[in-house]
Structure 1
Amino acid sequence: MEYLKSGWKTVVGVPSSNSVLDDHPNVAETVERLVERVETSTLLEDRRDACRALKSLSKTYRLEVGAKAMDALLFVLQNDSNDIDIIAFALETLINIIGNEEENFHSSDSPMNSQDLSIQFTEIFIKRKENVQLILDLLGEFDFKIRWPTIKLLYCLLRNKLRECQDCILTHPMGISRMMDLLSDPREVIRNDALLLLVDLTKNNTNIQKIVAFENAFDRILDIITSEGYSDGGIIVEDCLSILLNLLKTNTSNQNFFKEGSYINRLLPFFDFSFDTDWNAQKINNLLLMFKVIRSLVSPKNPLQVTSSCQKVMNQNEVLQKLCAILMSNGIPAEILTEVYFTVYRIKKLFIFFIT
């Protein structure tokens, strides 16, 4: 990974003699000394202390640490996997470098904005797929101090370079399986951040969507929706529905799997609510997303056989009846009524076309 050292000028886009590093010579020298300690010290305690210091510096001097220390941090992840603390320090430092928390960084860190730095550091990181695979391997660690920052780092990578990062993940034989296993973690913060990770992971990638569905995603996601209270649930339900929509929209294979697995039946309780309910913004968002999920199954963009068979199921299991009951009720917000109308129209139009 020597290319990381030699190629840092590509990140900042200016020659080193005119760089921001020259404005902070003491910081640059400190980072260099810490990197040397990480790479050459024979004592684990010394390497751990150096990583701790790099983590602290990266909160303010992101450019200096990112340009000079990324290869050393990867070295730690590869060679010190038995020490939880040093791995946690390395992961948190990488999050500070690759993430986009602009308010944490020194105002003179870079002539570019924070997002530009995030993207360019991400490009360097994922240039070698082995780096992403190394992070995916760390998901297998149950310890909170490793698993949680690993999820956050993957989330940053996907946000900055979605397609490229998805390609890297597809090359790992167990990468998606390990991400799906996070949904079974008993710690809610892990599960909730894993949902955010899956929202991005499943965007616009048919192959990943199929693998995620094969990994029992529909059961797991619907179980979470059930435990959170369906439409009365919070932002977690919204994240779950976003994943469902990503998996089903324009994906014929997953649509058939969803229908044949009787998952449409599991959507029914979503519409069992009192019509004089408290129509808070979150409940409205949840319902609007659910209507989109239903319409994705009966979209005119789908093959006619798929849409008509899904429509039949929705008539048989009373989805259509429940939607019509909402249309006929008083006190329903206008935006809900509009979406219900378009959903019912789509179901009935396809059905009428099919039977005629």
Structure 2
Amino acid sequence: MNYIWEAVGRQPPGQQPSGAETIQKLCDRVASSTLLEDRRDAVRAIKSLSKKYRVEVGTMAMDHLLRILQSDRTDTEILGYALDTLYNIVCSDEEEEPEENQQKQEDDLGARFTEEFIGEPDNITLLLTLLEEFDFHVRWRGVKLLTVLLKSQCAPVQSIVLVSPMGVSRLMDLLADSREVIRNDGLLLLQQLTKGNTAIQKIVAFENAFERLLEIITEEGSSDGGIVVEDCLLLLLNLLKNNSSNQNFFKEGSYIQKMKPWFEVGDDNSGWSAQKVTNLHLMLQLVRVMVSPVNSPGATASCQKAMFQCGLLQQLCTILMATGVPADILTETINTVSEVIRGSEVNQDYFASVNAPSNPPRPAIVVLLMSMVNERQPFVLRCAVLYCFQCFLYKNHKGQGEIVATLLPSTIDASSMSAGQLLCGGLFSADSLSNWCAAVALAHALQDNLTQKEQLLRVQLATSLGKPPVSLLQQSTNILSQGSHVQTKVGLLMLLCTWISNCPIAVMHFLHNQDNVPFVSFYLHTHTYTHTLSHTHTHSLTHAHSTVFVWLQEVELLRAQLQSQSAEIAQLQREKHQLLRGSDTTVSVPIICLLNISVLKSSNPVIPGRSLLLSVCQEQVQALLESKELMEKELSSATSSAAIMQTEKSKLQQELQESKKEQDDLLMLLADQDQKILSLKHRLEDLGETVRSSDDSDS
């Protein structure tokens, strides 16, 4: 700072130097001074002006500062000043809250100077080299500078770090720093570095990131920890989400088992801090990433199996049935349990056996359904329960049968609440959202299960006293034809579509009521309801419309064929009665044209004409009957052939699915083998052995 006053003092009396003039003189001093102390004082002065005169410092001093980083590596103090100044140039002032226009200008300046800095890739390489310095001020300020560069220009900086020798490894060393400030800022740096870059994510994972991050989480108190635990979990999510290789590495490293202690909750769950809620929410998301439905089936099934064997699923169910858990954690736990059991027979059977700690004990499924049809519960919670019910029944014919059985007359227990009673109650309640949820849930109990579709036709409902009971199918169509809420209509249409699809008996029951087809036809050709629907409801209703339209086409085709055959039979019967009455004049024109004119002109035309007409008519009737028999045989043959082809198609589809499953399993085994080979190579290298690749062996 003394140099600033000296520079100002040389100005003519009464004239103060401008900021740009002062910065220019300081830059000249940095460039021309041979003494380290003079350069250090000049850089310190530039640093003190860098926030107020950001544009001038960035324009005039950046090149000089970069040369300082290269030439004065032995002086950590001047390195710290230079790094601080560069940070001030490329980063907006976070302590103040500028107005919107000012903030935009600040961001534009940061982007401009960041582009100038990374325009020379060696600058990033130089910064990575400086991170090897153990000096606190150099290392910490280098971490902060690289973090802000990544925030401003993530992809270009990632590309430079990726090709820099040992670039990612140097950054991973930050997690082992004993100084918590550097370690914690290193976590933030790695969060930015791993965003959306699969290659960097893999390198970070193979640099033992999982082990170190889980250690930090445990040291900081797991879910009871602070912001550092949150940063570790965010970094883990970056490494695992949409990265099948890292997910497989995480599973094979037995890190799933290490997550179980995170979810241990006590009896008293009141008074959770906001940080604990955030931490546990991220932990649940981490479990969901490993068993997400978008992952490959083999990988998901393997993780589901590991979660059951280590007791993680059981721990999640404990949270599910615990009291005092915050609503958003309960909702996310339901979603997590849903994906852990989805498509896994063992996990689904376990979930079906879980009971709530009530008196008397009730199955967890019943307790969850009670929340789903309760209009006082939050919307997201009710949707989470519906998703859980769907996942429980996914590829679970046994579970579907158990749910439908609670609706059948022979199994209904009036003394206890069952899943079927809750679904029926929700289906016909006054709350439209309960109607929709119950209808969709019941549809999943029938999905791809012909047996349960037929069983559900046995369900009879007593709608009012003194009136005979009606079937569940008929009551659903009755409500659909009434002026109910659009959510109710959409839910019932989805239920009917699923129920009647590929179930001839259900179609017969649906068509048994003569009012159903005209109503659906009228409903299809009016758009009154569609215009009032949201995007989601419109999509569901469009699906329902398309299915019902196919039904109507089939019904109209059958009706037309029936009318045609009835007309032919009626015509033949009329001709037969006319001939029997002996009325020659009422014979149809085609038959008269076949008569021999010479016979009609004979001396006794009445008897021969009548006999001949009767003979010709009988021949035509016989020909039509033979044609009908032939067509019936051809129809029977075609039906048989179609059934055979359908059977062959089903077998081929099953073989195709089995082949795909075998292929997925083989690919998974190959990936595991490659992983083990790579691990063994790393171990040999650590032991000092020389490992040659397969390419070297071939040569």
Give the whole-Å Cα distance in 1 for the aligned partners of 2:287 and 2:54: 45
The answer for the alignment partner of 2:38 in structure 1 is 46
Aligned amino acid, residue 46 of structure 1: D
Is this contact kept in 2: 1:230–1:237, CA < 8 A? yes
Aligned amino acid, residue 328 of structure 2: E
SS in 2 for 1:113: helix
The answer for the alignment partner of 1:290 in structure 2 is 283
For the structure 1 residues 25 and 302, does the alpha-carbon distance in structure 2 shift closer, same or farther, using more than 3 Å as the test? farther
For the structure 1 residues 168 and 186, does the alpha-carbon distance in structure 2 shift closer, same or farther, using more than 3 Å as the test? same
Q: 1:104 deviation in Å?
A: 6.5
Aligned pairs, number: 331
Give the whole-Å Cα distance in 2 for the aligned partners of 1:161 and 1:122: 7
Q: 1:200 deviation in Å?
A: 1.1
Give the whole-Å Cα distance in 1 for the aligned partners of 2:167 and 2:290: 28
The answer for the alignment partner of 2:188 in structure 1 is 196
Aligned amino acid, residue 242 of structure 2: T
Q: Which of these residues, 193, 206, 209, is aligned with residue 214 of structure 1? A: 206
> Once the two structures are superposed, what CA deviation does each residue of 1:294-314 show, in whole Å capped at 9, x if it has no partner?
111111111111111111100
Q: Answer yes or no: is 1:299 the counterpart of 2:272.
A: no
Give the whole-Å Cα distance in 1 for the aligned partners of 2:103 and 2:320: 55
Give the whole-Å Cα distance in 2 for the aligned partners of 1:149 and 1:105: 23
Structure 1 residues 266-345: aligned runs within 5 Å: 266-277=258-269, 278-345=271-338
> Once the two structures are superposed, what CA deviation does each residue of 1:254-273 show, in whole Å capped at 9, x if it has no partner?
00000000000110110123
Aligned amino acid, residue 132 of structure 2: G
The answer for the alignment partner of 1:92 in structure 2 is 84
SS in 1 for 2:344: helix
Superposed CA RMSD in Å reads: 2.0
SS in 2 for 1:350: coil
For the structure 1 residues 94 and 104, does the alpha-carbon distance in structure 2 shift closer, same or farther, using more than 3 Å as the test? farther
Q: Answer yes or no: is 1:226 the counterpart of 2:221.
A: no
Aligned amino acid, residue 128 of structure 2: L
For the structure 1 residues 294 and 112, does the alpha-carbon distance in structure 2 shift closer, same or farther, using more than 3 Å as the test? closer
Q: Which of these residues, 53, 60, 63, is aligned with residue 55 of structure 2? A: 63
Aligned amino acid, residue 350 of structure 1: G
Structure showing greater relative contact order (alpha-carbon pairs closer than 8 Å, 6 or more residues apart): 1
> Once the two structures are superposed, what CA deviation does each residue of 1:248-290 show, in whole Å capped at 9, x if it has no partner?
0010000000000000011011012314243110000001101
Is this contact kept in 2: 1:31–1:64, CA < 8 A? yes
Q: Which of these residues, 254, 257, 264, is aligned with residue 262 of structure 1? A: 254
Give the whole-Å Cα distance in 2 for the aligned partners of 1:202 and 1:39: 38
TM-score norm. by structure 1 comes to: 0.89
The answer for the alignment partner of 1:83 in structure 2 is 75
Greater Rg by CA: 2
Question: Percent of counterpart pairs with the same letter?
Answer: 56
Aligned amino acid, residue 346 of structure 1: E
Is this contact kept in 2: 1:58–1:65, CA < 8 A? yes
Is this contact kept in 2: 1:38–1:47, CA < 8 A? yes
> Once the two structures are superposed, what CA deviation does each residue of 1:89-142 show, in whole Å capped at 9, x if it has no partner?
1000001101111656999xx896211111111111111111111101011000
Q: 1:198 deviation in Å?
A: 1.1
For the structure 1 residues 112 and 252, does the alpha-carbon distance in structure 2 shift closer, same or farther, using more than 3 Å as the test? closer
Is this contact kept in 2: 1:60–1:104, CA < 8 A? no
Give the whole-Å Cα distance in 2 for the aligned partners of 1:292 and 1:246: 11
Q: Which of these residues, 72, 85, 105, is aligned with residue 113 of structure 1? A: 105
Give the whole-Å Cα distance in 1 for the aligned partners of 2:26 and 2:39: 8
The answer for the alignment partner of 1:4 in structure 2 is none
Is this contact kept in 2: 1:91–1:149, CA < 8 A? yes
Q: 1:350 deviation in Å?
A: 3.4
Give the whole-Å Cα distance in 2 for the aligned partners of 1:112 and 1:255: 39
Is this contact kept in 2: 1:60–1:106, CA < 8 A? no
Structure 1 residues 175-194: aligned runs within 5 Å: 175-194=167-186
Q: 1:40 deviation in Å?
A: 2.0
TM-score norm. by structure 2 comes to: 0.46
Is this contact kept in 2: 1:34–1:53, CA < 8 A? yes
Q: 1:59 deviation in Å?
A: 2.0
Aligned amino acid, residue 129 of structure 1: P
The answer for the alignment partner of 1:33 in structure 2 is 25
Give the whole-Å Cα distance in 2 for the aligned partners of 1:76 and 1:92: 13
Is this contact kept in 2: 1:311–1:347, CA < 8 A? yes
Q: 1:176 deviation in Å?
A: 1.0
Give the whole-Å Cα distance in 1 for the aligned partners of 2:304 and 2:98: 56
Is this contact kept in 2: 1:31–1:54, CA < 8 A? yes
Give the whole-Å Cα distance in 1 for the aligned partners of 2:84 and 2:105: 21
The answer for the alignment partner of 2:622 in structure 1 is none
